[in-house]
Amino acid sequence: MSKNPLKQPVRRAATVVSLIAIFLLLPVTAWGKNFTPDVRPGKGVTEQYKLSRYFSPLKGTNMDTDVFVLDSGKPGATGLLIGGTHGNELAGSVAALVALENAVVTNGKLIVIPYTNLSAQSVADTRNKVSRQHLVRSRSGDRYLPYGDRRTDPADQGSEDPEKYINPGGYVLENGKEARNLNRTYPGKSDGTRTEQLSYALIALIRQEQVDFSLDMHEADTPERDKPDDDYRPGGNKRLSYTLVAHPRGLEMAAFALLAMEEDTGISLKLEESNPKYRGLSHLEIGNATNSLSFLSESPNPGQDRWRSDGDVINEPKYPLTHRVGLHLRLFKHLAEAFVVYHGKVLKIEKLPEYSELMAADIGQFLN
Amino acid sequence: MKNSVIRIVLACAVFAVFSGVSFAADVVLTPFGQSPDAMMVKVVLKKLGVEGRLEKILATEDLQDEKVLITVVAGSSKGLGEAGIDKDAEIARVKNVAAAAKAKGMKVLVMHIGGKGRRGTLTDMFIVEAVPMADKLIVVEGGDYDGLFSGLVEGTDLEMLPAKSVRETGEPLQQVLSEWGVL
């Protein structure tokens, strides 16, 4: 078969262009084990490593997420910001990205994990079928924010879902799929499923790094209903968004932070205390298993409203991503301030955007 | 040495008088419905310089020499479950405590700070029981969205003080506690 010499350069160029396109899109389009989130650390990040540093069996798995450290080198408190426990709760991950791409710590140490359950982030949302990628215009151009699923990819779990899931604390969950829900598997098990091992590794990190307090950033459905007359509280006080859950040891500190939050942002959050009978959740188990004070925040995500189809998770007018990211970040800052008041150790974070700055701009302006 | 000790004691006394700080627990708090909202009020009090004693399951015999009982109304199924009591036992507990407090000459302040988000069947049941025991009532905006509190207060001498947010309950709290000799 004869070759057409004129077409060869064209083919070669097309191949090169295709490879470049694949390379550029890989971070946001690749699935499963090839998923690499797009994180662009700022000047404040002093160290980056894998979670498997604390539990080596995670090495090489899709659970081995990146850990970012912003260390002032000066004594003070150590805070941990946990984003992406659930892959479909975008604001937690983006709040963590905004922190590690902007913040500078001048006292104490901040540890940030933006995509805590990397496996859940690597697969598409199965609940509301929210689009996989969301384009924002960052400081360096177009950037895609990935939207994942609530639970670990079954392919990464290492075992079939049980009919019922009995978590490490002995709590029975009727839906066996919850075995892949990171926020039901704390404090984890070294010889458990991959998700239980992930919890185990996170607890190991908190112990080894002597984390003083942590905030696990979540999202829930918004207070909106399809029809204005629909009962806002079916069955009682079921609203989760705009809530801060605190381990009993951190309850007063949480109340202090919430009052500061109202003054700073005008956002009122409901305070809840960890239920000691409902085992497996981060805010309870981290506080029980370590010396750390543990908190969990919930912002309102239009993408989790069951009555919406593919809700706008970036620009929905009432619940824009800037509002939700601001909620988590300002809350963390006020928790740090409360920690000084109640425990006398300082975590001083500079260059975190103010709530008003976030609300006056697009989220991309706070991302590299 | 003796003079130094006297000077320190005097300085503390002067500070206590002029700072308005209430050292003894003049205020005891208890939730009505076992939600953590009482903790929010405890911190608001702290910011006013008042150390409130918070007892989740305050009983009549736990009352000391306080001047004021604050009960913060908001129902929490989870909280009741943790406390190991049902709604009827909770109503009986707080009613007994309020009656005992009044018998001791204490004032009773009822607060609802959770707004619309804390309202619901359970909370409403507690509100209906709480309002008649109040000497004063503080309600955060949204809590009376359907006029439940207004309806219960109507035709009585009970004063309902509104606040726009939890933080802003500081102002009516200060007013009430001043009237009642705590501040």
- Transcribe A137-168 into DSSP letters: EETTEEEEEE---SS--HHHHSSPPPSSEE-T
Chain B residues whose CB is inside 8 A of the A268 CB are 115, 165-166
pLDDT score at A35: 79
Stronger pLDDT, A16 or A270, i.e. the higher one = A270
A262 touches chain B (CB under 8 A): yes
Least trusted range by pLDDT, from A184-198, A299-313, A327-341, B17-31: B17-31
- Token pair 């079928």 is at which residue? A129
Mean pLDDT of the A49-64 span: 97
A17 touches chain B (CB under 8 A): no
User: Would the CB atoms of B166 and A262 count as touching at under 8 Å?
Assistant: yes
With a cut of 70, which residues of chain B have pLDDT below it? 1-24
Chain B residues whose CB is inside 8 A of the A263 CB are 167
The number of CA neighbours under 13 Å toward the Cβ of B157 is 1
pLDDT score at A250: 98
CA-based nearest distance A20→chain B, Å: 51
Determine the Cα–Cα distance for residues B31 and B178; give it in Å rounded to an integer.
Answer: 22
Rg (CA), chain A: 21
Mean pLDDT of the A61-68 span: 97
pTM of the model: 0.89
Residue A4 has pLDDT above 80, yes or no: no
Buried b (16+ CB within 10 A) or exposed e, A187-207: bbeeebbbbbbbbbbbbbbbe
User: Would the CB atoms of B120 and A236 count as touching at under 8 Å?
Assistant: yes
Q: Tell me which residue in B42, B121, B166 faces A252 most closely, judged by beta carbons.
A: B42
Determine the Cα–Cα distance for residues A338 and A263; give it in Å rounded to an integer.
Answer: 14
Yes or no: say if A150 and A120 are a contact pair by the CB < 8 Å rule: yes
User: Would the CB atoms of B167 and A252 count as touching at under 8 Å?
Assistant: no
Binned at pLDDT 50, 70 and 90, residue A309 comes out as confident
Stronger pLDDT, A18 or A64, i.e. the higher one = A64
Closest chain B residue to A253, measured at CA:
B43
Yes or no: say if A216 and A87 are a contact pair by the CB < 8 Å rule: no
Q: Token pair of B17, please?
A: 């008088």
- Per the document, the length of chain B is 183
Determine the Cα–Cα distance for residues A224 and B166; give it in Å rounded to an integer.
Answer: 22
Chain B residues whose CB is inside 8 A of the A242 CB are 117
Domains of chain A: 40-366 (3.40.630.10)
Total CB pairs under 8 A between chain A and B: 66
Residue A237 has pLDDT above 50, yes or no: no
Stronger pLDDT, B163 or A238, i.e. the higher one = B163
Stronger pLDDT, A293 or A13, i.e. the higher one = A293
Environment class of residue B55 by beta-carbon count within 10 Å: exposed (0-12), middle (13-18) or buried (19+)?
middle
Q: First CA to last CA across chain A, in angstroms?
A: 50
Judged by DSSP in three states, B92 sits in helix
User: Would the CB atoms of B39 and A259 count as touching at under 8 Å?
Assistant: no
pLDDT score at A26: 46
Determine the Cα–Cα distance for residues A91 and A260; give it in Å rounded to an integer.
Answer: 21
Determine the Cα–Cα distance for residues B71 and B108; give it in Å rounded to an integer.
Answer: 8
Binned at pLDDT 50, 70 and 90, residue A8 comes out as low
Residue A57 has pLDDT above 50, yes or no: yes
Q: Token pair of B134, please?
A: 């109040």
User: Would the CB atoms of B166 and A268 count as touching at under 8 Å?
Assistant: yes
Determine the Cα–Cα distance for residues A153 and A105; give it in Å rounded to an integer.
Answer: 34
User: Which of B78, B121, B148 would you mutate first to test chain A, the one with the most A CBs within 10 A?
Assistant: B78
Q: Tell me which residue in A233, A254, A271 faces B37 most closely, judged by beta carbons.
A: A271
User: Which of A221, A222, A224, A237 would you mutate first to test chain B, the one with the most B CBs within 10 A?
Assistant: A237
Query: How far is Cα of residue A204 from the mean position of the Cα atoms in its chain?
Result: 18
Judged by DSSP in three states, A319 sits in coil
CA-based nearest distance B148→chain A, Å: 16
Chain A residues whose CB is inside 8 A of the B76 CB are 237, 272
Closest chain B residue to A255, measured at CA:
B40
A232 touches chain B (CB under 8 A): yes
Judged by DSSP in three states, A124 sits in coil
CA-based nearest distance A262→chain B, Å: 7
Residue A234 has pLDDT above 70, yes or no: no
